[in-house]
Amino acid sequence: MISTKYIFVTGGVASSLGKGIIAASLASLLKARGYSVTNQKLDPYINIDPGTLNPYEHGECYVTEDGAETDLDLGHYERFTNVRTSQANNVTTGRIYQSVIDKERRGDFLGGTVQVIPHITNEIKDRIKLLGNSGQYDFVITEIGGTVGDIESYPFIETVRQMKWALGNDCVVLHLTYIPFLSAAGELKTKPTQHSVHALMQQGVQPDIIICRTEHPLSRNVRDKIALFCNVESDCVIEDSDVSSIYEVPLRMHQEKLDTQVLRKLDVPAKNEIDLSQWESFLYKLKHPNSEITIGLVGKYVELQDAYKSITESFIHAGAALQCKVHVKSIHSETITDDNLDEKLSGLNGILVAPGFGNRGIEGKILAVKYARENNIPFLGICLGMQCAVVEFARDVLGYADAHSVEIAPATKHPVIDIMEEQKNIAKMGGTMRLGAYPCKLEKNSKIFQIYGKELISERHRHRYEFNNKYLEQFQKAGMKAVGINPDNNLVEIVEIPSHPFFIGVQFHPEYKSTVLNPHPLFLAFVKAASMPVNK
Ligand code: GLN
């Protein structure tokens, strides 16, 4: 094992250039060379975590095994590297300040003035080193959220400056920028990159490697120019051109020698010949499908690319494994009504009702469940989607017309989805749901058992409400079976309708565990089922 090396990824010129994908790609390359790697994200906003952020603000909230509600980049890290992340892998300004202020109140700094430097920067440093000092990783790759020059990211960049100074050769900084193409001039322009590197240098940080997001190839000339103006070697100007799948980025970065340059800069001897055969085979299958299907994703944030990121990525993983192109058609649940079901939902090979919170669009989700159930269309309900399936069954099969979840209708006479006992007295919203991995025991005589191929599974949760066991017997008798139960507290985690070709609702989020190299069994089974002809 080498001494831990620290790699920082900053961004300039524009947001959304894909720092997370670059950080994840580099991690996957180092891992493919036999090193142990972890990815971390530092977010400059003041929320303690993104759990209370609406997807319009920040895309999906990703949940780790230990129940941390985190930035969606952690999902990329896990999907690219197969390395589990945890609370320690995502730190926000809010969390840093909260911890420093708690220490101040405790009297840890008695007599001293508490300041951004050193108290806040030390706290940030501790959070970065916590991963390095765990002794588990050769490389800690820390992505700094936001764009260089933002007021909010100053303390993070200052921490990078201090760490780079202290660590010398054990630290490199990668700066991701954007090279716009001016079509009137027919040229790629490097000036914004020069300015963003200057902004970084004003804060005392000289990047070692500049990664240039571009829609056109970088000529030698452009690379040399960036090198000259930004004090980096020409070989350390890396082209990051647009690709058709994010999963091509590791291969592109390898072709551009990003991993080689990073190892050279860190003085780490290249350990193994890199083995990218699994990635290549994944990409081959992804690009050579021999069938295609369309899944309707019914949710209320469907206009947002990132709101259901882990779900759409899980379909890519499962689809590639089965060489089936999965088109995910977003269907806004607010637009679904009794009168337009056929128009909205016919012709789909499968219907997934998405996770979510609150009342908006709920009746459309319930109608989509009904349509899938009555027309034998493969159905997967995730979290709120499972709860909608339970409500629909209670209304249309058990005959309880007013059945609902108490989240939506607190006074319903038939609360088939109820608040968990331990949630009743919780007043704070942040970080208080049932979060993270819980065990689940599967009923042997079920589809879900065939899918997982084992009796005891563990999946990640993020919810406050649950199946109301008072109704369990009635559901079972009427044909909706509870086929996955939490062995510790008897909560129903999975329901299934055995008389339907594929109708499964899960209270947990399988999508958080699907990775490129380990597609999730439930998504595989759903895609397979959706590939069968529908028998109406
Ligand atoms: N709103 C529901 C609950 O809290 C479902 C949550 C979800 O879909 N993640 O139980």
Distance from the alpha carbon of residue 111 to the mean position of ligand 1, in angstroms: 46
What pLDDT is stored for residue 86 in this prediction? 96
Tell whether ligand 1 has an atom less than 6 A from the beta carbon of residue 512: no
Name the nearest CA neighbour of 420 among 404, 431, 438, 433. Answer: 433
Distance from the alpha carbon of residue 460 to the mean position of ligand 1, in angstroms: 12
Q: Give the three-state DSSP class for 19.
A: helix
Ligand 1, residue 385: give the atom nearest the CA: 8
Tell whether ligand 1 has an atom less than 6 A from the beta carbon of residue 229: no
Instruction: Name the residue at shortest CA distance from atom 5 of ligand 1.
Output: 384
Tell whether ligand 1 has an atom less than 6 A from the beta carbon of residue 97: no
Return d(Cα 103, Cα 499) in angstroms, integer.
Answer: 58
Return d(Cα 191, Cα 365) in angstroms, integer.
Answer: 49
What pLDDT is stored for residue 536 in this prediction? 53
Q: Give the three-state DSSP class for 435.
A: strand
**Per the residue annotation, which of 76, 254, 463, 509 is the catalytic one?**
509
Task: Choose which residue among 60, 380, 387, 492 to substitute to test ligand 1 binding: the one with the highest number of ligand atoms within 8 A of its C-beta.
Answer: 387
* Cα angle 35-38-40, degrees, rounded to a multiple of 5: 155
Q: CB of 479 within 8 A of CB of 497?
A: yes
Q: Which residue matches tokens 């420093």? A: 100
Distance from the alpha carbon of residue 518 to the mean position of ligand 1, in angstroms: 26
Q: What is the pLDDT along the chain (536 residues), one digit of tens a residue?
A: 678 999 999 999 888 899 999 999 999 999 999 999 999 999 999 999 888 888 777 789 999 999 999 999 999 999 999 999 999 999 999 999 999 999 999 999 989 999 999 999 999 999 999 999 999 999 999 999 999 999 999 999 999 999 999 999 999 999 999 999 999 988 999 999 999 999 999 999 999 999 999 999 999 999 999 999 999 999 999 999 999 999 999 999 999 999 999 999 999 987 778 889 999 999 999 999 999 999 999 998 877 778 899 999 999 999 999 999 999 999 999 999 999 999 999 999 999 999 999 999 999 999 999 999 999 999 999 999 999 999 999 999 999 999 999 999 999 999 999 987 777 777 777 778 889 999 999 999 999 999 999 999 999 999 999 999 999 999 999 999 999 999 999 999 999 999 999 999 999 999 999 999 999 999 999 999 999 876 55
Instruction: Name the residue at shortest CA distance from atom 8 of ligand 1.
Output: 355
Return d(Cα 361, Cα 358) in angstroms, integer.
Answer: 9
Instruction: Name the residue at shortest CA distance from atom 1 of ligand 1.
Output: 357
- Active site includes 511? yes
Name the nearest CA neighbour of 164 among 106, 127, 195, 206. Answer: 206
Distance from the alpha carbon of residue 240 to the mean position of ligand 1, in angstroms: 38
SS (H, E, C) 333-379: HHHCCCCCHHHHHCCCCEEEECCCCCCCCHHHHHHHHHHHHHCCCCE
Distance from the alpha carbon of residue 466 to the mean position of ligand 1, in angstroms: 9
**pTM (two decimals):** 0.94
Q: Is 466 exposed, middle or buried (0-12, 13-18, 19+ CB in 10 A)?
A: buried
Q: CB of 386 within 8 A of CB of 331?
A: no
* Cα angle 102-105-110, degrees, rounded to a multiple of 5: 120
Distance of CA 103 to the CA centre of its chain: 32
Tell whether ligand 1 has an atom less than 6 A from the beta carbon of residue 462: yes
Tell whether ligand 1 has an atom less than 6 A from the beta carbon of residue 356: yes
Task: Choose which residue among 407, 408, 434 to substitute to test ligand 1 binding: the one with the highest number of ligand atoms within 8 A of its C-beta.
Answer: 407
Tell whether ligand 1 has an atom less than 6 A from the beta carbon of residue 357: yes
Ligand 1, residue 417: give the atom nearest the CA: 10
Beta pairing partners, 505 = 381, 495
What pLDDT is stored for residue 112 in this prediction? 92
What pLDDT is stored for residue 220 in this prediction? 94
Cis before 118? omega within 30: yes
What pLDDT is stored for residue 92 in this prediction? 96
* Cα angle 133-136-142, degrees, rounded to a multiple of 5: 65
What pLDDT is stored for residue 534 in this prediction? 62
Distance from the alpha carbon of residue 385 to the mean position of ligand 1, in angstroms: 9
Distance from the alpha carbon of residue 464 to the mean position of ligand 1, in angstroms: 6
Contacts of 107 (CB under 8 A, 6+ apart): none
Distance from the alpha carbon of residue 64 to the mean position of ligand 1, in angstroms: 16
- Tell me the CA distances in angstroms from 156 to 58, 124, 192, 279, one per residue in order: 20, 7, 22, 33
Contacts of 26 (CB under 8 A, 6+ apart): 7, 9, 141, 174, 253, 258, 259, 262
Return d(Cα 403, Cα 395) in angstroms, integer.
Answer: 6
Tell whether ligand 1 has an atom less than 6 A from the beta carbon of residue 505: no
- Active site includes 187? no
Task: Choose which residue among 62, 464, 492, 512 to substitute to test ligand 1 binding: the one with the highest number of ligand atoms within 8 A of its C-beta.
Answer: 464
Q: Which two tokens stand for residue 511?
A: 């999508």
**Per the residue annotation, which of 61, 212, 324, 383 is the catalytic one?**
383
Contacts of 285 (CB under 8 A, 6+ apart): 320, 321, 323
Tell whether ligand 1 has an atom less than 6 A from the beta carbon of residue 355: yes
Instruction: Name the residue at shortest CA distance from atom 6 of ligand 1.
Output: 463
Ligand 1, residue 357: give the atom nearest the CA: 1
Tell whether ligand 1 has an atom less than 6 A from the beta carbon of residue 461: no
Tell whether ligand 1 has an atom less than 6 A from the beta carbon of residue 434: no
Tell whether ligand 1 has an atom less than 6 A from the beta carbon of residue 35: no
Return d(Cα 193, Cα 43) in angstroms, integer.
Answer: 22
Distance from the alpha carbon of residue 477 to the mean position of ligand 1, in angstroms: 26
- Active site includes 463? no
Q: Which two tokens stand for residue 339?
A: 């009168």
Ligand 1, residue 466: give the atom nearest the CA: 10
| DSSP-assigned letter for residue 288 | S
| DSSP-assigned letter for residue 2 | P
